[in-house]
Structure 1
Amino acid sequence: MDGRLAVLFFVIGLTDMKTNDCETGCLGRTPAQEAISLSLGSTIFQEQFIGQEAYVRYDMGTSFGPFQPTVGLSVTDTNDIWVGLGATHTTRFWDRPSGAGGYAQLHVMPGVYTRGSGPVLGHPFEIRSGAEIGYQTKNGLRYGLSYDHRSNAGLSTPNPGMETLQFRVSVPLS
C-alpha cells in the first residue's frame, strides 16, 4: 500500500469542503465532537502479521471545514512507538433520528516513529493514513474497524511501510 489512503483523504475532504463548507468559509472553525479513541489490533509488515499494537487518539473539539484535528500515540508489542498530529474527515450514513447510525472516517497524521525491535521503516518521519468504518450509538459512542498504513513518503530508502488492522472504540468527552 502506498499513499492512496492519504490521497483519498484529501480528495474526499476537499470535495466535501467545496460542497458543504465554502458558503460560510471553506475552513471555518466549528464545534466538533471531542473524543478519546482506544484501539487494539495487528501490525502487518510486507503482507505478514507480525505483532500487536495499542493505539490511543484524541479528536479535538473543533473542526476546520470538514477536517477535525487529532493527535495519536501507538505502541507495538515490539516496543515500536509512533506519535503524530493530523486530521480526520468523517462521513455519516444511515442516520437515525436518535443520532445513531453508521460512519466512515479517513485520517492523515504525520508523525515520528521510534523503532524498538520491530521493522525498519527507513525514517523517523512516518505518515499514518487510514480508513475506519463503524457504528455510532445515540450517545456518541463509536465502534469501528480501522485499517491504516504508515510510511515515510519516499523521504528515504528503504520505505517499506507498515499497516495496522484494529478494532477501535471512541468515547465522546462532552
Structure 2
Amino acid sequence: MADGTFAVLMLILGLTDMSRNYCGTEIGCFGKTETTPHFAISAGTVLERRAQQAGEIYVRYDLGTKRGPFGRALGLSIGEHGETWVGFGQTYKIQPQGSPLYAELHSMPGLYFDNGGFDLGGPIEFRSGLELGYENRQGWRFGLSYDHRSNAGIYDNNPGIETVQFRVSVPTR
C-alpha cells in the first residue's frame, strides 16, 4: 500500500458517501458544514524500506468545516535529520453511529525539503494514509497512523517513504 492506494480509497469511499448522504439534500454534494476542529500531534518512525529508520514529529490541524463528507487539514512534519514536509489536503472519517472507534483517511499534497536528510526526488510530495483509533466522550482521539509520501512519479527519482505514528488529537473548541 505504498503507492497512493489510501488516496484512491479515500476518494472512492468519500464520493460514495457523498452521493448517498449529501447530494440531493439541503446542503448539497459539497455543502459546507461545521465540525469540531482538532489539533493533533504524533510521533513515530520512518519505516526502514528505502530510507533509514528515523524519528519524525508530525502536527496537524483539522479545520472546523467540511465540504460534503471531506474534512480539510493542514500538516507539518519534521524528521530526525531535518527533513520537513508541509501540506494541505482532505480527510475522510468513518465512524459508526454511537461507536468510539474510527478510521480516517487523508490525502495531502505538499512541499518537502530534505535539508540534507532523505531525498524524496523533488519538492512536491504527496502524503496519504490511514489512522485507526478511539475517540473518547470529550472528543479526544487516540490513534495509530500509517502513511506514505512520494512524488507520484512526477520526478525521475521517486523512492517514497512510509511512517508509523501514534497520534493524539485534541478538540480546540
> How would you bin the TM-score normalised by the shorter chain?
over 0.9
Deviation at 1:58, TM superposition (A): 0.3
Q: Which residue of 2 aligns with 1:37?
A: 40
5+ residue gaps, structure 2, are: none
Deviation at 1:45, TM superposition (A): 4.7
Q: Name the SS of the counterpart of 2:47 in structure 1.
A: strand
5+ residue gaps, structure 1, are: none
Q: Which residue of 2 aligns with 1:58?
A: 61
Change beyond 3 A, Cα 1:109–1:17? same
Change beyond 3 A, Cα 1:46–1:9? same
Could you give the per-residue CA deviations for residues 62-106 of structure 1, whole angstroms, max 9, x where no partner exists?
Answer: 00000011000000110000000001000103725xxxx101000
Whichever residue aligns with residue 102 of structure 1, its letter is L
Match of 1:69 among 63, 72, 80: 72
Residues 102, 136 of structure 1: 8 Å contact kept: yes
RMSD: 1.3
Q: Name the SS of the counterpart of 1:61 in structure 2.
A: strand
Could you give the per-residue CA deviations for residues 120-163 of structure 1, whole angstroms, max 9, x where no partner exists?
Answer: 11110000000000000001000000000010011011101011
Deviation at 1:6, TM superposition (A): 1.0
Whichever residue aligns with residue 124 of structure 1, its letter is P
Q: Which residue of 2 aligns with 1:165?
A: 164
User: Alignment identity in percent?
Assistant: 48
TM (norm. structure 2) is 0.94
CA distance in 2, matches of 1:78, 1:146: 21
CA distance in 1, matches of 2:68, 2:104: 15
Deviation at 1:9, TM superposition (A): 1.1
Figure out how many residues of one structure are paired with residues of the other and give that number. 170
Is residue 2 of structure 1 aligned with residue 3 of structure 2?
yes
CA distance in 1, matches of 2:91, 2:140: 17
Q: Name the SS of the counterpart of 1:60 in structure 2.
A: strand
Q: Name the SS of the counterpart of 1:160 in structure 2.
A: coil
Whichever residue aligns with residue 55 of structure 1, its letter is Y
Which consecutive aligned stretches of 4+ in structure 1 deviate over 4 angstroms post-superposition? none
Q: Name the SS of the counterpart of 2:53 in structure 1.
A: strand
State how 1:11-160 maps to structure 2 within 5 Å.
Answer: 11-24=12-25, 25-46=28-49, 50-93=53-96, 95-96=98-99, 101-160=100-159
